[in-house]
Amino acid sequence: MKNYYCCSLKRFLHLFNLSLLTFFLSFVDEAFCQSKENHIESPNGIIDVLLTINSEGVPEYSVLVNGESIMKNNRLGLLREDADFSQRLQLISVGSTEKIEDHYTLLYGKRIQCSYRGNRKVFYFKNADGEEIDIIFQVSNDGVTFRYYFPGKSSDRKKITNELTCFNFNDSTHIWIQPIAPAKSGWNASNPSFEEYYLHCGITEIPNHEPGWTLPVLLQSGKYWISLTETAPDHNYCGCRLMHDSLSSKLKIGFPQKAEVIHGGALKPEAMLPWFSPWRIMTISDNLGTLVESTLGTDMAKPSVLSDLSYIKPGRSSWSWVLLKDDSTIFSVQKRFVDYASDMGWEYCLVDADWDRKIGYEKLGELCTYARSKNVGITAWYNSAGDWNTTPYTPRDKMLTKELRNAEFTTLKELGVKGIKVDFFGGEGQSVMSYYQDILEDAARFGLMVDFHGSTYPRGWQRTFPNLISMEGIRGFEFVTFEQANADKEAHHCTIIPFTRNLFDPMDFTPVCFSEVQNIQRKTTNSFELALSVLFLSGIQHYAEVPEGMAKVPGEVKEILKIIPVSWDETKFIDGFPGKHVVIARRKDTTWYVAGINGELKEKNLELNIQFIGNVASCLMITGGESNRSFKIENKDIDTSIPLKIVLKPNDGFLFRLSAK
């Protein structure tokens, strides 16, 4: 009850405007801050979160690392249509610190076996009308998470009109952040599809941008690195973003634009009580390695809601559309790409847009039968759109309702289709976020995997719905085929992605192209493209290369693309800096794959410490050759106790396959 009286004293002094207000408030705040009740630390004691209540009854949190403040006086609170939880809050009590431990398995990603350990503390508040809200903090060795909870029960739907959650940083902080396109803009009004380039600037230099900025974002504050993101909402919350005031170092949680809805459904959060918000997630460390190796994004996600996972097989896929475009979606070409996948030992072949008109359901079933004889599964493309965009591709409107989905999924199961790729969502309103989950839930009942395109990012949904095999939400390789400006930026763009969009969540970038692109000069080397097969994470990796291009590469390159997995046992960050270069090692069983790329226009000399592999290793080394389209291939034993020296040309990359001896 001590905290309750502290807050009441503050309000008393404020109401009567006493001359000693500042003195007493500072005294009360100091006493409150020194109380252990309002602190919560990470298990190793390095990260400390401090909760305070200001003179207006607004809860605020600060984050300290090794005693150094990196985020100070960050506002908390919500506005509901029927109640104000943004000010004049009373802290009724504080729960005791609870140790949280969780162990779980993912089907693919940077680490299959994941563990979480953290400390939880709940702060119980009431607003001026006596209505309750809890703020729940969990602090682990790699970061801070928190969310809101409305206890009780209600028969009516409560509606949140604004979330006041803020993240305050020092003015010297740098940020890598992606703008959100205006709703209903772009090709056939299909934005936002979250496919913009990242901006790197000082936090006070972020330009005004009304649609907001997509999560996740990466920040560098002094010697500390911070990633901001959130977990996926249940059906009861919209996807959130960051808003920013020009010349400010403060970021605020924002809601989607008005047009980001479907079926005339909900835009902002609404639900009946009890009601949890998504977790706000801050991964924090003095080194990028902790962020790259962290699984905090899935640690906080809701555990799997599916019971049968037997049909979910992560893997690699052939795909004709990215280089051959619309005319390739015909039976003869798709049969050739089935043969291509079979020859490469890949698990799938994706049949893209307009297959219903150019191939038809009967012939798709014939293709599935043929593919099955080759140990290849067929996945099929769909247009999600109802009346919210005018994209012309088909099949269209087959996903709109449960009845339509059940009918279509019944047909697909009879044909032998293994999964679907659903495109053109255009938003993050609550009705859109619910639509994603409706598709996942219904697809699971029919044993179908799902890949979303023209979409937001997963926010840990791959744990909750393991049949979610990937999502786009990135300016991927297809943009390189659209115009030269994208090809010019590819290398730089790719060095940012492992620290931002692909940090926790699967990403269908569609990497690896060795062929020339029609009317485009590809700037990356072939060894750069090869490295992306390890650097980028996706439950289904759709490779851009076509059979003719793969036939021209050295046998060692082809063989390694036959065996590179998408499910990893361990990930290690080796070196890198966003926008410059990145080197990451990933292990499957006893074999390590080390991949690196240079996104700068100057030569880079690297010394890589790979002692974790063992003292001596047998190494297949694939680096850039004399030209941008050739490889240098070496097989040799290396002493991993000695730093491995690598020279990377501009837009170049490498891939090593190492086995300890």
Q: Which pLDDT score, from 0 to 100, does residue 418 have?
A: 98
Q: Which pLDDT score, from 0 to 100, does residue 18 have?
A: 36
Q: Is 330 a residue whose pLDDT tops 50? A: yes
Per-residue confidence band for 261, with pLDDT thresholds at 50, 70 and 90: very high
Could you tell me the domains of the chain? 35-299 (2.70.98.10)
Q: Is 414 a residue whose pLDDT tops 90? A: yes
Residue 363, φ and ψ in degrees, nearest 5: -70, -30
- What gap in Å lies between CA 54 and CA 652, rounded to an integer? 53
> Looking at residues 465-488, what average pLDDT do you find?
98
Per-residue confidence band for 560, with pLDDT thresholds at 50, 70 and 90: very high
Residue 567 DSSP one-character state: B
Q: Which pLDDT score, from 0 to 100, does residue 34 have?
A: 52
Q: Which pLDDT score, from 0 to 100, does residue 4 have?
A: 40
> Looking at residues 476-501, what average pLDDT do you find?
98
Q: Which pLDDT score, from 0 to 100, does residue 339 have?
A: 98
Q: Is 232 a residue whose pLDDT tops 60? A: yes
The helix-helix angle for 402-415 and 430-445 (nearest 10°) equals 40
Q: Which pLDDT score, from 0 to 100, does residue 60 have?
A: 98
| Under 8 Å between Cβ of 621 and 592 | no
Q: Which pLDDT score, from 0 to 100, does residue 349 have?
A: 99
Q: Is 645 a residue whose pLDDT tops 50? A: yes
Which pairing describes strands 78-80 and 68-75: parallel, antiparallel, or unpaired?
unpaired
Per-residue confidence band for 82, with pLDDT thresholds at 50, 70 and 90: very high
According to DSSP, the residues that pair with 655 across neighbouring strands are 595, 622
Q: How many residues does the chain have?
A: 661
Q: Using alpha carbons, list the distances in angstroms from residue 105 to 49, 118, 298, 463, 569.
A: 29, 18, 10, 8, 11
Q: What is the mean pLDDT of the chain?
A: 94
Residue 654, φ and ψ in degrees, nearest 5: -155, 160
Q: How many CA atoms lie within 13 A of 156 on its CB side?
A: 5
- What gap in Å lies between CA 314 and CA 348, rounded to an integer? 9
Task: Indicate the SS3 state at residue 5.
Answer: helix
Tokens encoding 152: 């009780």
| Alpha carbon distance, N-terminus to C-terminus of the chain | 63
Q: Of 402, 399, 395, 348, which is closest to residue 371 (Cα–Cα)?
A: 348
Per-residue confidence band for 35, with pLDDT thresholds at 50, 70 and 90: low
Residue 524, φ and ψ in degrees, nearest 5: -80, 150
Q: Is 32 a residue whose pLDDT tops 90? A: no
The separation between CA 5 and the C-alpha centre of its own chain, rounded to angstroms, equals 43
Q: Of 270, 265, 238, which is closest to residue 254 (Cα–Cα)?
A: 238
593-620 pLDDT, tens per residue?
999 999 999 999 999 999 999 888 899 9
Q: Is 12 a residue whose pLDDT tops 50? A: no
- What gap in Å lies between CA 147 and CA 302, rounded to an integer? 13
Task: Indicate the SS3 state at residue 335.
Answer: helix
Q: Using alpha carbons, list the distances in angstroms from residue 567 to 112, 418, 501, 516, 588.
A: 7, 19, 18, 29, 8
Q: Is 7 a residue whose pLDDT tops 70? A: no
- What gap in Å lies between CA 588 and CA 569, rounded to an integer? 5
pTM of the model: 0.94
Q: Is 426 a residue whose pLDDT tops 90? A: no
| Under 8 Å between Cβ of 651 and 491 | yes
C-alpha angle 15-21-24 in degrees, rounded to nearest 5: 120
Per-residue confidence band for 385, with pLDDT thresholds at 50, 70 and 90: confident
Q: What percent of the chain has pLDDT over 70?
A: 95
561-601 pLDDT, tens per residue?
999 999 999 999 999 999 999 999 999 999 999 999 999 99
Residue 325, φ and ψ in degrees, nearest 5: 60, -160
Q: Is 31 a residue whose pLDDT tops 60? A: no
Task: Indicate the SS3 state at residue 497.
Answer: helix
**Which residues are CB-neighbours of 529 under 8 A, at least 6 positions away?**
511, 512, 513, 514, 653
